[in-house]
Structures are given as C-alpha cells and as structure tokens.
Chain A
Amino acid sequence: NAGVMQNPRHLVRRRGQEARLRCSPMKGHSHVYWYRQLPEEGLKFMVYLQKENIIDESGMPKERFSAEFPKEGPSILRIQQVVRGDSAAYFCASSPPGSGEQFFGPGTRLTVL
C-alpha cells in the first residue's frame, strides 16, 4: 500500500509565477489536508478537503491560494503570483473516514526566487 504521494518534491518559481502542488492520498483515504511549514516552525493547517468538497479552508490565505480535490485525480494546491514569503514546505496528509490519525506525504519544498 503506497503512502501519501506528493509531487514535485522540490519546486522553484520566480516571483509572479504560479505553483501547482499535487497530492495523492493513500488508497482508501478520502480525506486530504494541506499544511504549510516555514523554516524552524511547526506545521500550520491550511485546508481540509473531501472528494469534490472543501470542508474547511480557514487556514488558507484569502488571496492567491486555492485547493481542490476532484472526483478523479490528485488534490491540487495552487498558488498564483507567488511571492518570496510563499517559500516553505507544503505537506499533504490523508486519513480514512472516522480516523484521527493523519498520514503525511514527503512534502513539496517550494522556493520562490
């Protein structure tokens, strides 16, 4: 059973470009969470999705950030017009329904030049 997969593992963007981060949850998991980790900080919750639904996006910046989890395919975290402050590690986690345990993917490390 493959774990949570994220790609790319490393992403470099120039200011103003778009970043697309992908996450495939573990098989059988229908809940996906995105977290952001700044250097030497803990993880900060961004958004919680189920298939085709955003359940809680209270941790997402109001502008430039969006997330989706379509019926088919991976969950996508999209950052438009990136700025240097967006540089961070973005982790996706998944869980099966009814479970409090979240399984984390390897993360995407975004660097904005």
Chain B
Amino acid sequence: GQQVMQIPQYQHVQEGEDFTTYCNSSTTLSNIQWYKQRPGGHPVFLIQLVKSGEVKKQKRLTFQFGEAKKNSSLHITATQTTDVGTYFCAVMGGGSNYKLTFGKGTLLTVNP
C-alpha cells in the first residue's frame, strides 16, 4: 500500500522560531492532506493540496506540494504556544479515493 514518510518525528522550538515538517513518498501522489492533532484531541483537517508545485497559505502556515508530487511540507512562521500538537500528512491510498494513509506525524512543542 501507499506509504508516506514524515520527518522529523519531534521538534522542540522556542516561541517565535519557525518550524517545518516534511512528508515524502516514493510514488507520485494524487493529492496530500495535512491535519493537526492537539494533545488528547482529534485530527483536524487543515488543507488539501492537489496541483504540482502548489503553495497555499493560512495565516502563519505555508503548505507546499512538490513539483513531482512526491513530497510536501508544512512551514509555520514565528511559532506560538497555540501551535503545539502533532502535524500529520495523509494521502489517499490503495487505489481508493477515501482510504487515508497517515504519516507518523511530527510532534511540535513550543517553549514560551
């Protein structure tokens, strides 16, 4: 089945520093989604990227989809304590348009 590798597994930053998490696949992806899960919470959909080279912004969050559609990144500018949580990428896999395959996530902690 389709797999995505996500790095780093953990990232600890000082408040105000930037943060980036990366998602990589060995195969071409039709699209990629990003989710945020707060500690003890549930995944919350952030965005879906579909087009090669696509860049989307949500306030301090910037999402990119690689030209070859094999990798993606989420960048947070000037982190805040409210950014704490685990960020997951997820892809539709197995020839389906519904089965999400999640990366293992990057746990972000922010020191105030």
Contact status A43-B94, CB under 8 Å: no
Residue in A closest to B31 when the chains form the complex, CB atoms: A100
B68-101: contact bitstring with A at CB < 8 Å (1 yes, 0 no)?
A: 0000000000000000000010101010111111
Whether A106 touches B42, Cβ cut-off 8 Å, given contacts A42-B103, A44-B102, A45-B100, is yes
Interface residue? A69 (CB, 8 A): no
Interface centre among A45, A56, A101 (most CB of B within 10 A): A45
A 1-45 contacts with B by CB, 8 A: 31, 33, 35, 40-45
Contact status A31-B42, CB under 8 Å: no
Min C-beta distance of A103 to chain B, whole Å? 7
Interface residue? A102 (CB, 8 A): yes
Contact status B99-A45, CB under 8 Å: yes
**Cα distance A102–B96 in the bound complex, in angstroms:** 14
Residue in B closest to A55 when the chains form the complex, CB atoms: B98
Q: Which residues of A contact B94 (CB under 8 A)?
A: 58
B26-46: contact bitstring with A at CB < 8 Å (1 yes, 0 no)?
A: 000001010000000111110
Contact status A101-B48, CB under 8 Å: yes
Min C-beta distance of A108 to chain B, whole Å? 10
Q: Which residues of B contact A56 (CB under 8 A)?
A: 96, 98-99
**Cα distance A107–B48 in the bound complex, in angstroms:** 22
**Cα distance A100–B29 in the bound complex, in angstroms:** 14
Q: Which residues of A contact B6 (CB under 8 A)?
A: 42
Whether A42 touches B45, Cβ cut-off 8 Å, given contacts A48-B98, A58-B94, A100-B31, is no
Top 7 nearest A-B pairs (CB, nearest first) are A42-B102, A104-B42, A43-B102, A42-B104, A104-B43, A45-B99, A107-B42
